[in-house]
Structure 1
């Protein structure tokens, strides 16, 4: 028996993940050992510092192209771009989470934001520390997402899937003042996520039986061998796709999304809507473009049908919603369909436009949920649409910001939503998927109705006695809103720098 030979490890390529995982482990120790009152500033500072440091490392190694740890992790253009996107969006999410918080109405609320309520509530806000365990959990989730988009074999991808999923299940249950709804959402997410992970793992087993390996290069070579069992290939690909489509909130695997988005604390919902979608589509792109591109003509029509179903479900059911967070959940589902339109183009334009869309949508949805956290009354967040009537008269600044974000979701020109939809639709036409573009344009028109209904309600309705006010945001929430708004505007007015960046990054290594 020969000596065990350890694979070569490029620690520079793995540094962003190692920084986040190391900081998360330190955060667990702080949670166990630090005095209760000092945990929040320490945890928040550590989380922000680790995220910024990891992002700096991604920039430093932006030209690195390598496969390391025995082929388990690939660092290439898409990996580095998506990791940078996850870290930037995660940083904005931490800003939303980060002010000294006390839970009221199911969300993390800064002391400055509690402008409605009794003096007892205000005293509680000043004395009760927030749920500081949210910070190491968030770092573990972000670290898992970084590994997920860089995984170069199916087993590593499965491990990364569990690493970032388990903290998210816990984060969804942290709304202690609205415990029943929050824990119900977390339980639904956990159970359905467990089934999706089981499908993914069973698919890995079938693909291993087909190819004799789990690395994407091995699968790619096996796909080119026609005498192998096609049953194992397509059954395995279908099961693996179920796990990824679930994380991306694509129909018919979307049913968890509205309940979880509504029940989870709103900053956690923002984290999931932005970062989880980047991770899910990053992994899906790598599997489709690297491992299974040899059978693209077989799975392309199936994924196209899923994109159509997703766009229709998201657009039609968004019209019927009466809760703001559920409306944004169905909007997220529809946008997942648009992202899949770009992905199934299966060309370089499809890859680059999908990555552009992920960044553009991520900043917009973070700004949207950031504003939702501020519309409050004595009972907490006022998410029912009827409560937003006349909000433009009471808080014109934030109603104007939210109007701009909704117009971006609708794809109005001079916003990032228009630019990103134009990019993915153009890539789909180039890839011969014009029928998907037709459905995409129709559903975009349909989806504009619920957005414009909210705009009309805010500006043209008279405020009632029950209309809540928009609370004064703290410094970090203000920063998060400013970043989201400016990114949405900049990517609509001057998208060329990011488009060039995605074009330069759109090249996988095997």
Structure 2
């Protein structure tokens, strides 16, 4: 074990250097040449992808910085999809951000640089093997996102959303930090593997551990946006510029999944019976409140926010199915199902908000469901892409969402909790109403706006590939599911 080995941190080091360089270069660029910042950002993400893919191909688990940082198959996989999520977000949002003055004038290229720094925070979260490192990554990501939500300083709605996000985010960080401090006080270590050993030994006061877990899970629940820590999600999703909403709803969900695995599974698996009960309650409440409240929404971004709450509740079903009566034999299957669900959900969300930004133009947000009326008459292809996305979120075959839901339900049934699986299916049927309502509006209502849809070539290609990928992953889910399973097995074994 080499504690001064920098190789596992090459993606993070490169991203930090590149983001700092892009910030400096952008200072000297005129608005007309802002395209250079965009291309440099995408090139940075491409290099990071190559570095993480090389790590993933090695298939080994490497610790560095005195065990505080770990590079393993799960971290490499999640980082690759995080790069993809940020890259697609920047491609989809370029015209949107330009039309709203987010890429020029006094703001310059801060949108790109803050997106890269939030990604750096997510990467640190994904690879953190120590309470403090995970917390530092979390704060780096959160501070960047707070600034992004408030990027349109003259917009009162965005400023209000940023204030809500900042205040509630600070509260959740306090919960998380307090939980970590209690666990440190009980175990005497910040190292996750050491915490797991001490917890398993049974020599620690169980009451202090359980209190620590309660605060820890509360902080994680906020980052996932699940009930009862969901209050910020609808307001921030609706109030933030759509480009920033996508930065919030995409890659950060993968980082949140990663710290759930790091903290709960790798660090606190001996307390699974305690935190799984909490996750069960949050999953059920999230699916109930998310699906039922979404029905009443007319704003598509707000509807997708409640949809996110319900979808994250469904993802928690995989996390709570890993340990049954103290037996962790089904852990790999359950956690790989949750990982597959998270990845496919993020890919679907990216394309959904991409379509919203496709229809938006200067002075028009296209964020109400009625704005999608007659989309099939204006653009049959993009109406079809949106149809695939809504079917996937509903869980209709042959989309990726169907297989993702099926794999999670199989994990739940493996625990013997048939009632929970049946309940989840019933709530998914309720959720079908508001997803299929968007399809009905696109195909059966007359178009109110007949303005031709103008889009750049890169956005059109990326959105088409993104939509078809959701269909392909539903027809052939095997390869990605196998990668998820292998990465979880190797990570837990390492």
Same fold (TM over 0.5): yes
C-alpha separation in 2, matches of 1:98 and 1:371:
13
Mapping of residues 204-223 of structure 1, within 5 Å: 204-223=180-199
Per the alignment, residue 138 of structure 1 pairs with 115
C-alpha separation in 1, matches of 2:295 and 2:108:
35
Contact kept? 1:216, 1:291, Cα under 8 Å? yes
Counterpart of 1:61 in 2: which secondary structure?
helix
C-alpha separation in 2, matches of 1:350 and 1:231:
28
Mapping of residues 106-505 of structure 1, within 5 Å: 131-175=108-152, 179-346=155-322, 347-376=331-360, 379-464=363-448, 467=449, 469=451, 471-505=453-487
Contact kept? 2:149, 2:159, Cα under 8 Å? yes
User: Deviation at 1:93?
Assistant: 1.4
User: Deviation at 1:375?
Assistant: 2.1
User: Deviation at 1:500?
Assistant: 1.0
Any idea what the Cα deviations from partners look like across 1:38-79, whole Å, max 9, x if unmatched? 652232122111111111011111123111110111211211
Contact kept? 2:55, 2:73, Cα under 8 Å? no
1:49 to 43, 49, 52: 43
Contact kept? 1:377, 1:469, Cα under 8 Å? no
- The runs of 4+ residues in structure 1 deviating greater than 6 Å are 127-130
Per the alignment, residue 3 of structure 1 pairs with none
Moved more, 85-94 or 311-320: 85-94
Per the alignment, residue 15 of structure 2 pairs with 20
C-alpha separation in 2, matches of 1:260 and 1:476:
28
Change (3 A) 1:70 1:471: same
Counterpart of 2:99 in 1: which secondary structure?
strand
Change (3 A) 1:226 1:100: closer
Any idea what the Cα deviations from partners look like across 1:218-263, whole Å, max 9, x if unmatched? 1111212324212221111111212211111111111111111111
C-alpha separation in 1, matches of 2:140 and 2:274:
31
Counterpart of 1:413 in 2: which secondary structure?
coil
Any idea what the Cα deviations from partners look like across 1:300-355, whole Å, max 9, x if unmatched? 12211110111111101110101011111111111101110111111111111111
User: Deviation at 1:468?
Assistant: 5.9
Change (3 A) 1:403 1:48: same
Question: Which TM-score applies when normalising by structure 2?
Answer: 0.93
User: Deviation at 1:201?
Assistant: 0.9
C-alpha separation in 2, matches of 1:100 and 1:334:
28
Per the alignment, residue 6 of structure 2 pairs with 11
C-alpha separation in 2, matches of 1:469 and 1:129:
31
1:95 corresponds to 2:97:
no
User: Deviation at 1:485?
Assistant: 0.5
Moved more, 382-391 or 310-319: 382-391
Contact kept? 1:376, 1:470, Cα under 8 Å? no
Any idea what the Cα deviations from partners look like across 1:115-151, whole Å, max 9, x if unmatched? xxxxxxxxxxxx9797521111111111111110111
C-alpha separation in 2, matches of 1:291 and 1:398:
44
Contact kept? 2:179, 2:213, Cα under 8 Å? yes
Moved more, 377-386 or 143-152: 377-386
User: Deviation at 1:501?
Assistant: 0.7
C-alpha separation in 1, matches of 2:21 and 2:113:
8
Change (3 A) 1:204 1:129: closer
Per the alignment, residue 62 of structure 2 pairs with 66
Change (3 A) 1:403 1:108: farther
1:76 corresponds to 2:53:
no
Structure 1 gaps of 5+ residues are: 1-6, 110-126
Contact kept? 1:375, 1:469, Cα under 8 Å? no
C-alpha separation in 2, matches of 1:469 and 1:431:
53
Contact kept? 2:246, 2:353, Cα under 8 Å? yes
Structure 2 gaps of 5+ residues are: 323-330
Moved more, 21-30 or 333-342: 21-30
Counterpart of 1:373 in 2: which secondary structure?
helix
**Greater length-normalized contact order (CA 8 Å, ≥ 6 residues apart):** 1
C-alpha separation in 1, matches of 2:67 and 2:486:
23
Contact kept? 1:28, 1:136, Cα under 8 Å? yes
Any idea what the Cα deviations from partners look like across 1:150-169, whole Å, max 9, x if unmatched? 11011110000001111111
Contact kept? 1:23, 1:136, Cα under 8 Å? no
Counterpart of 1:380 in 2: which secondary structure?
coil
C-alpha separation in 2, matches of 1:460 and 1:298:
49
